[in-house]
Each structure stands twice: as structure tokens, then as C-alpha cells.
Structure 1
């Protein structure tokens, strides 16, 4: 009881000073119930809350910590960078080094611009694409999240292809009237969007990680590339989540499809706030100071974040075999959950791609947002609460992806499966 009172006291105090008590909505546990543990520290695959409770962490800061918490190499890089200064608002050598490391992996990308978040990256990429094509309309897909910029906070209206309407108060309809919504993995809906407007760009998560985990189908993504070529539209792959997580080259290793612009984040910052967008030379050179499309950021490319990202990317390039190891662990976890669910007559389906996994309490494996919404979110909430009480930290939402990190071992996975088999009757 003492521990519970401590946690409630701090969460109540937080709500007096911070909106909702949190600085990002999903952390408030609204969709799963209960109160969020306040985290004090992390070590490897684990996090510890302020009451001393230990959790096996399947969130890993929502993806960036592929080497787990407090990775020594990343820590040392950050410490050494901080000793020289946290920010200069001026060019540094480490920016060039990280840019080179990233671009060497993608032959179809020539230039990169670093920013401070995934939202900044996607927002800037869309502005650049519009400036390059001279066309205002964009296509996005239901269930794909690209940050909270105004033109991307849209919901579907009526009809198969429609201009988006604001999904949040504070977003003027004029800001979203140029956003068309298509259905994920449905090429016909994309064609109707192109017929409905003057489309300058298409933005998509080729591996969608914001409706749990739903991969794009290779044929669909290939046709999407062809349609963009036909209409002269810029194709943007949002790989803020999947970049360096699904594989070393993100979706490119899996599908081989060359987007015109790719956005990055998460892993390339090693836990520090970093985003980036990279693209073809003729597109990127429309960006200021070379071209007329303006984008800027005082803290963009700061040496602390760049040093962390450089260390992580170099380690990944030197140890590409970890992706197979992480995928094997993710598959073992999901296969264990699946077998236990079937034994207890619970509908369960899952996806695994590299170190990413997502599962659904659903009769079928979803291919789009409508099908994801058929999942049993109340059952997920019960799953989350029971696993959290048992020391396993999963995403506090059925619409989020899970992540495996290198410090996780076979025993960790086995313990997770065993615990699920014990709490399954409760859900």
C-alpha cells in the first residue's frame, strides 16, 4: 500500500503542473487504465521505477534504444561530447560524420538534413516535396502517424477518396483541405485520390508502426512507386520508427523500393532527440540555403545528439547480424503468446519484422486501419495491466509497436511467455 500511495502522490502532483501529468499523451495510460509508473533509471533490457520496481522493457523509449538502456558506448560518446559543449548553433564535424554513415547505406539518397524530432522531419519533407513539385495536395494513409503537424492531423470524411478534415481542435479546416486520405495496402484508394486532386507528394510508413505493426505489402508499395512516377509526385517513406529497426536499411532491405525522400529518427539519435530527412540531390537542393524552401532549427545537429547517433549507427554497421538475433527473439516471444492464446481460445495474430513486433487480439491479421480497429482493445488493456503488475512493461496502447533490444536474452523471453500463460485466464 505504501508503494501505491507514493506513486499516486507523484502522479497527482504531476497533474498540478504538467498537462495531464505527462508530456506525451500515451504515457497517461488512458487507453489501458491504471496509473503510469514514474521511471527512475534503466539498465540494459530493464527499467526501474521510483518505488524500486523492476520491469522488462518492451518499449525501449519507443524504439531508439536498440542496444538497450545505458549502453556504455553511447553513454561515453554523450559524456565526451558534453565536456566540449552541449550546443553551438554552428556546424560541427560530427554532423558530417553521421550524415556520411547514414547516406552510405542508401545509394538512392544523396543529401540529408538533421532536425530534432520525427515530426520536424516529416513536416519539413512535405514542405520540401510541395516546393519541389509546385503542387499543394498530399496523400497520407489511415492509421499511419507522421507527427502532430497540422496538415497531418486529419480523419476521413465520407467516400472512398476524400480530402481530410481536422481530427483535433485547433487545426483549421483550411490546413487539411489539401490532405487526401487513402487506405493502407489498397492501391485503388490511392488511384482515386490522385484522380481527386493535384497531388505533389505521398507520405507513408512502409512498415506502419502506429497501428501496432502492419507492414506494407510489397506489390502495393511497388505500385505506389509507379503511380508517383506517373503523376510526378514525390514519394516519402516515413521510417522514423522502422529505419535501422526493421533492418539496417529499414524497409529498403526488405522491399528494395526507392523512395524520393526518407525520414529518419529514433535509432539515429541513440535515445537523444534527433530526426532527419534525406533525398535525391535534385529535390534536396530546393532546400534553403541552396534553394528557396525554408527550414531551420537552432538545435538541429547539436553535437551531443549527433555523437550518440554516430556511435549507434557505427555499431549497427559493424554488427549487422544482430538483426537476425533480435528477430529470432521477437518471433519466439510472439509464437509463445500465440500458442498460449490458442490453448485458451483467445483470438490472436501478430507481425514480426526485425527487432519490431506487434500483436492483435483479432481473428485475422490486419492489413489496414479498419481491420486493426476490429481488435479487442479491452482485452489488450487487461493484458497490459496484468503484465505490468508482473514486471513486464508493454506499450500502454493496443496501437503501438513493441521492440526487442540486444541485452534481452532467451531467459527474458521465456519468462515473458511463462508470465503470459499465468495471467491469460485474467484476460
Structure 2
């Protein structure tokens, strides 16, 4: 497959953009495919190559690349009235009302411009509301490019995961393993009255979609209640994708104190939000004392796109479609790996999926769960399925990135840049797309 134009564009980009990209995850080997346009469930690159797209903008494009007429009309109408005003608009009220009506934990929202901005503001709000400083995060979780969560290591040795983050920030952050109840209980035993909040994704979307073991989030809820800390769900990725309009918290049956949103809440445009009970969210200025502000917050075009996307999803059986195709993909991948790569693991739920090149014996014990790992303790594979971010990071990431992803690209399948990022099904995908994708996976393992 010829990608010479993409190669030349990358050569130019290296002169004017650090690493040739504007987000580090886009720097795929040996060079990225530069996308010219989207078409339904497909993208077309600068050389005219067409791919079935499972990146979907890293999650925002629930409906695919072709916006339904109602969404397109709302965006165009809003834009025709002016790009933005620096003043409130009705559309931001309507989107906040929609979110509050459907998401169990939300009474109020504060809109921002990205997932990073949402988690930055949620951490500040938790600290301001509780009067405490420490934040607990999950090892391998990702909460945007912010100093309070760019932290790695252990509870006893937290350290910045990037140069430029002061060690003093890391000292207020406690990284713990996801799904490890004993570890989080020990942290609350030692620091309970210092913890402002526990920040976790409902599932580890940036480490391939590792699901929680049964009872884990419920135990987090109990520990936060007992200590006075806030439970913060980062639903930037899962919000309005996993669990439908109630989000992952509705599917799990666990109600957080704060929730962060982005991606789908903006309908493919830059937007994020922090939601929760009025008692907490009204701590933001000007109602309270915790400062939060932004020139582009509640941008009318992003609000219109988000609201109409969610309305369309609610009225057109979008979740039935994407979840069915997601299950079909995971089921097909499970069958392929059982026959050809039994040491590998299928992860994900609803319209998220990922095949992880987990290390292990070729003769894995027993069959996999039917449509991806469910963290079932009665499953013969339970002990070997990834439970934490570290489990995914220790898999064969080099093989996935250097061999597998380029081969799939040559077969017309556009996957996320590395083995850690989840992949997504949209309403524009079809059964034929899934079947073609499974054939490409099968051919790779033959």
C-alpha cells in the first residue's frame, strides 16, 4: 500500500512540530498515515487509501464520521450565528439539563474544553471541597496531561512520570494498583483523613479496557464514605459510550461524587465537563470559592454538537447497534485467538475492544470468556487475565506496534497507535465491516 504522501507530510511536519505531531500518541512507526477525510466508518488518507476506522478520534465519534442531518444542522446553524461570545447561551443550559437528567450522579455541570481540563478542575474541586490535599490514582490509569496525575511508582515512592512535573506534586498523589482491594484499604488505613479524592476510570481505557473485578468500585465507594473523601469517576472515555446514556456508573451501579466527561459529550468537538451533586459543584466560582474559568468553556458549537449527538443516540437505538457490533468483534477475536494465539487476551465492553498480546504459555488454561475477559473468578483464565495497567504494559507491546498494527494498516484496518489504547465501534460501522476486520485479524495469525 502506497503511503508516500503521508511520508512526505511527516517529513515536513518534523520541521515545524515536535516529533511531527500535536499529540504524542499519533507518532506511529515508521510514520503516521495523514488523514484527509472521514466517510462513515472509514477514513481516507492523503494517498487515497481507505481504512475501516476503529480509532474514531480516540473515542468521541459515537456516530462515525458522517454526522446525521440533525447534528449537522445544529452545528451549522449555531456557527452561522457567530463563533462564540464570552457570554452564556441557551444551548449550554440544555446540554447540562440533558446530562443531569440521564447520569445518576449529576445534578450540575461545569463545562470546560477537554478531558484534561475536566480532570484538572475535578482534582482542584475535590481538594477545595474537602480541605485535603492527597489524591489517589490507579497505576496505569490516565487522566490527561496534568501535574497531579502524571505520577507513577508505588504508594511509598510516588514520582513524576514526566520531566517538568515537580516532585512536590507527586508527593500529594498516591498511585495504587487497579483492582487491588487490599492495597487501597491499606492506603485509607494510613492516610484516610488526608485523602481528598480517589480518581479512577470505571475501566482502564488507556490500558486496553481492563474491567474492574466484582466489588472493587463498591469498596472504593465504602472507603470514601467512611473517610470523607470524594469518589471521582473519570468517564472521559466511557461517558455516553459504556452504559449508554447513564454512562459506566449506571452500568456498574456505583454512584461517584464527581464525574469527568469529554469526547462524546462534545460530539466530536473540543468539550469536557465536571458533574456532580449541587452541594459539591457549587463550590466552583462564582457560586463558591474554588476558582475555575475558561474563555472557550461552553463553546456554543461544541455544546450544539454534543447535545444533538446525545439526542440522536437516545432516539435511534445507537447503543443497541454499537454494543452488538462490539460484542460480535470481541466474540470473533476470542475465537481467532483460541485457535491461533491462545496466550493472547481480548478486552473491552459495550462498543470498546482490544486484543492484547499478553505473555504466557501457548497452551492457556481453558477457554476465554465468550466476548472478552469479564474478570470472572470462576474462569480458568482469571489469574492470568490483566487486572492492572502493569499487566497490560508487560505484554508484547513491541510486537503489537512494530508488526501487528502495520500489517493491519496494510489490510485496510485503522487501529489505535499502540497496545495500550482502547478501540471503538461507531454507529456507522456495519456487520460487513466487522466481518472484514475479523478476516484481517485471522489472516495475520495464520
- Quick check: 1:162–1:193 contact (8 Å CA) kept in 2? no
Partner residue, 1:105: 102
List per-residue Cα deviations over 1:30-77 (Å, max 9, x = no partner): xxx221110010011000011100010001001111110021332222
* Pairwise CA distance, 1:333: 1.5
- Quick check: 1:163–1:179 contact (8 Å CA) kept in 2? no
Partner residue, 1:59: 55
2:73 paired with 1:79: no
* Pairwise CA distance, 1:246: 0.7
- Quick check: 1:163–1:176 contact (8 Å CA) kept in 2? no
- The equivalent position to 1:326 in structure 2, one of 298, 322, 326, is 322
* Pairwise CA distance, 1:323: 2.0
CA–CA distance in structure 2, aligned partners of residues 111 and 93 of structure 1: 15
Aligned ranges 1:226-375 → 2 under 5 Å: 226-248=222-244, 249-319=246-316, 321-362=317-358, 363=360, 364-375=384-395
CA–CA distance in structure 1, aligned partners of residues 214 and 405 of structure 2: 32
Number of aligned residue pairs: give it.
417
CA–CA distance in structure 1, aligned partners of residues 333 and 87 of structure 2: 50
2:210 paired with 1:214: yes
- Quick check: 2:327–2:351 contact (8 Å CA) kept in 1? no
CA–CA distance in structure 2, aligned partners of residues 387 and 346 of structure 1: 20
List per-residue Cα deviations over 1:178-233 (Å, max 9, x = no partner): 00111101111112222333111110001220101112234010010000000000
CA–CA distance in structure 2, aligned partners of residues 113 and 211 of structure 1: 28
2:195 paired with 1:173: no
Partner residue, 2:156: 162
Q: Which moved more, 1:360-369 or 1:233-242?
A: 360-369
* Pairwise CA distance, 1:383: 1.4
List per-residue Cα deviations over 1:130-175 (Å, max 9, x = no partner): 0010000110010110001111101114xxx325211111111111
SS across alignment from 1:188: helix
SS across alignment from 1:277: strand
- The equivalent position to 1:49 in structure 2, one of 21, 31, 45, is 45
* Pairwise CA distance, 1:375: 1.6
Report the TM-score when normalising by structure 2.
0.91
* Pairwise CA distance, 1:95: 0.4
- Quick check: 1:44–1:70 contact (8 Å CA) kept in 2? yes
Report the TM-score when normalising by structure 1.
0.95
* Pairwise CA distance, 1:107: 3.9
Aligned ranges 1:72-151 → 2 under 5 Å: 72=68, 73-151=70-148
CA–CA distance in structure 2, aligned partners of residues 36 and 81 of structure 1: 33
CA–CA distance in structure 1, aligned partners of residues 71 and 134 of structure 2: 41
* Pairwise CA distance, 1:346: 4.6
SS across alignment from 1:14: helix
RMSD value over aligned CA atoms?
1.4
Provide structure 1 residue ranges, at least 5 long, that are not aligned to the other structure. Answer: none
- Quick check: 1:324–1:354 contact (8 Å CA) kept in 2? no
CA–CA distance in structure 1, aligned partners of residues 262 and 255 of structure 2: 18
Partner residue, 1:379: 399
CA–CA distance in structure 2, aligned partners of residues 216 and 352 of structure 1: 11
CA–CA distance in structure 1, aligned partners of residues 199 and 266 of structure 2: 22
Provide structure 2 residue ranges, at least 5 long, that are not aligned to the other structure. Answer: 361-383
CA–CA distance in structure 2, aligned partners of residues 302 and 325 of structure 1: 30
- The equivalent position to 2:183 in structure 1, one of 175, 189, 195, is 189
SS across alignment from 1:353: coil
2:13 paired with 1:14: yes
CA–CA distance in structure 1, aligned partners of residues 104 and 338 of structure 2: 44
Change (3 A) 1:153 1:345: closer
